[in-house]
Chain A
Amino acid sequence: MRRPILAALLATAPAGAFAQGGPLTLAMHYNQEQAAPLLACLDIYEDETGQAAEYRQISYGDYLQTVLTGRIGGTQPDIYHLYSIWGAQMAENGVLAEPPEEVADFVRETYGETAEAATIDGTLYGVPTEVSVYMLVSNMALLREAGYDSPPATWEELREVADAITTRNDQGRIETAGFAFADSAAGSVHPFYALLASRGGEVYSDGFSEANLDSPEAAAAVRDMAGLVEDGITDKSVDGFDFPAGGIGMIVMANWMKSSIQEGLGSLDDVAVTPIPAGEGWRTLSYAFFMGVDSQSERQDDAWALVRWLNSDASADESGVSCMGRVLSGIGALTANASDNAAMGEADAFTQPFLDALAEGRATGQPNVMQAAEIEGMMAEAIDTVLAGDAEAEAALEDLDGRVEDILFEFY
């Protein structure tokens, strides 16, 4: 038994898709509750076409690792739902299939510029779905209590307002925090992107051959963030995800937190969404997910048909919104699907500013660089080191810049 295995290992032609003839598998990070409209759609699809499809939930934080492990193990799903920054790595390794021409046309017609999120090195790999934009989200009740009627428009104002909100308990722990970063890798990296862009900085240049993390703009952006910790407004023991509990004044956060904020605070009436507080020239970060198909799926055509169906009028209910459109609006997420946006009409006061930021071109898409997840992990570590006061911004970023360029050097 030994020889065949070794021979197989040496040859290592990648394995074929696992399931044949059974249901298509669709792997996404939405939990059962969030995906409920989708599950209903899959039933309808089976009734209409006879093609069954199975939903598989994979935790967001584990998604890339899980699908890659599945791919190397030959147990990959047919349809992926990918955070755009995972795309480069998957495309480079031939994991993703190119869509048939009619799906590509559909994407270009329906999604406008957001098609870029699903495009790697000029090749389109799927249908964009959830779009997220970062904005300043404020708990107005806390702001008013501290004597402010409107959210800050500049970082200096933010420091002042946040400082007025912050209270500490008898043991000196922050009880109500003026501002908070979310406790995740993205929690410090994504606001950093927004502040960097507002200062006119960019993370990469020249087709990813160089990193600009040692630029003065980058250092200034990190210093802005670290200033909040120095002032005692926030620290790592406060978690931005606790915003819905009402103990946090402001966060720089994406729209997808809408439903849990609504649940926690009871309503969105007293929540304000305003531009990144960086003056007139503010810019922000957007990122997107897209649905793609595995290049070794035995039923690529069936898979693309389902992807297209889920994202187009074909799956629309009486309101005219596609199946994925309903999933996204259910969780307070944005879509770039023009026909869904038209059918949904006016957004509410919480969502509209996010849409405006996209429409005004304020948002820069997150770069689809190789090993993006690894790089962002390093960025988070460097920024957190500065936030904790364990390093100066310049030194930490210079070190980071070198490490990131080491990785870029492997690929570009």
Chain B
Amino acid sequence: MTVADEFALEADADVRAATGAPAPRPGRRRRQAMGALKYVLLTFGALLMVLPFADTFIGALRSPADVFANPPRYFPSDPQWGVYGRVFAELPMGRWIFNSVVVTVTITVVQVATSAMAGWALARYEFPGRANAFRLVVGAQMFPFFLFVIPIFFLLRFAPLAGGNDILGQGGSGLLGTYAALVLPFAVTWYGVFLMRQFFTTIPEELIEAARLDGASEWLIFRRIALPLVRPALATLAVFAFVYHWNEFIWTMTITRTAPELQTLPVGIFLLENQFQDLDQKALQQAALAVSVLPVLVLFALAQRFFVSASMESAVK
């Protein structure tokens, strides 16, 4: 699950770190090379990418009559635009979206903060234990997520003095059933620390020295001088974290099975599976899927620059 994504994130930057691939030079490319064939290939691939989404948007508009026909009709005979209203009326869509936003934004902010701070310390300070701390950051990336699901579930469950628990972690539900259970296990991303460290090593020392001579505190140097210089990296990390956690579902589902008030969009849709079992509920399910895809799609449209160009910049490091 998540592991694949973590790895992919690593792949994105590490590959470039490893190969020293420079940023793409947009603009002029040789035009004549493969002629029209390449566009045929790209268009065919693009169709394969888009058709499944189109299938869902079309399916959402089918009426019960279309579904109950034998054989069922593919294109809606009477498009049911009202289905999008039903999605919000019949499903706790608002709640899910709210939770998704709260959880994803919190994790993103926390991850960017912890990554930047730790990356800064590892990049610019000499202190006892630094080598080991760096080894930890690299080594911890090796542990796959599935290893943690069971133990962290119970550690949160038996967290002392939380959720009605006594000092021994007994008697209540601990941190389960709280937003903390959805956020804390993702408070640090090892890859993020690694990435930020790479970036901070490139800041010119003169700027920092100048600030220090002016009597700026270490925190102030970090906050006022270092951070603004690595904005593209922060944006890259934030965008990746946002997309990843907007879509995360195994952990959130495990924790919120019994806490519907905390369920996020993917978890809610997944756990309401039997709501959608009847044939005439399929359109509702497809509409819910369409709605769940849209917010990230908009973000993507707005921030594509950061998805791609910022991640390319990270490649130069």
Contacts and interface: CB of A to CB of B under 8 A. Distances in A.
Interface of A: 1, 4-5, 7-9, 11, 13, 15-16, 18, 20, 29, 31-32, 56-62, 65-67, 69-70, 72-77, 175-176, 241-242, 244-247, 260, 263-265
B144 interface: no
Counting from the closest, the 3 A-B pairs by CB-CB distance are: A8-B169, A70-B258, A74-B173
B173 A75 contact: yes
B274 A59 contact: yes
B68 interface: yes
Given A9-B169, A59-B275, 6 more contacts: A5-B158, A29-B274, A72-B157, A73-B177, A75-B258, A260-B280
A62 B253 CA distance: 11
B101 to A, nearest CB: 23
Contacts of A4: 160, 167-169
Q: Is the interface of B mostly helix, strand, loop or mixed?
A: loop
B145 interface: no
B159 interface: yes
A115 to B, nearest CB: 27
B176 A73 contact: yes
A401 B186 CA distance: 44
7 contacts: A1-B160, A9-B154, A15-B170, A16-B171, A66-B258, A73-B177, A260-B279
B260 interface: yes
Contacts of B278: 241, 244, 260, 263
B180 interface: no
Nearest to B173: A74
Contacts of A69: 254, 257-258
A25 to B, nearest CB: 9
B257 A245 contact: no
A247 B257 contact: no
A247 B271 contact: no
B89 to A, nearest CB: 10
Most chain B beta-carbon contacts within 10 A, residue among A31, A67, A241, A263? A31
Most chain B beta-carbon contacts within 10 A, residue among A15, A62, A247? A15
A29 B154 CA distance: 26
A244 B170 contact: no
B90 interface: yes
A260 to B, nearest CB: 5
B64 interface: yes
Contacts of A20: 164
B82 interface: no
A5 B70 contact: no
B153 interface: yes
Contacts of B155: 5
B266 interface: no
Contacts of B163: 18, 74
Interface residues of B, number: 42
B176 A264 contact: no
Given A8-B158, A59-B272, A245 B69 contact: yes
A367 to B, nearest CB: 24
B67 interface: yes
B171 to A, nearest CB: 5
A8 B166 CA distance: 10
Contact of A73 (B71, B169, B173): B173
Nearest to B272: A59
A74 B157 contact: yes
B218 interface: no
B160 A15 contact: no
Given A4-B168, A15-B170, A31-B274, A75 B259 contact: yes
Contacts of A244: 68, 278-279
B277 A15 contact: no
B174 interface: yes
A309 B90 CA distance: 28
Interface in B225-283: 254, 257-260, 271-275, 277-280
Contact of A75 (B176, B271, B272): B176
Contacts of B153: 73
Given A74-B157, A74-B173, A75-B258, A245 B168 contact: no
B176 A74 contact: yes
B306 to A, nearest CB: 37
A13 B273 contact: no
B72 interface: yes
A70 B279 CA distance: 30
Contact of A11 (B67, B165, B168, B277): B168
A246 B257 contact: no
Contacts of A61: 273-274
Nearest to B64: A263
Nearest to B255: A73
B172 interface: yes
Most chain B beta-carbon contacts within 10 A, residue among A1, A13, A66, A245? A245
Given A61-B274, A69-B257, A246 B70 contact: yes
B68 A65 contact: no
Contacts of B279: 241-242, 244-245, 260, 264
A207 to B, nearest CB: 33
B257 A8 contact: no
Given A9-B158, A244-B279, A15 B70 contact: no
Given A74-B157, A74-B174, A263-B280, A245 B274 contact: no
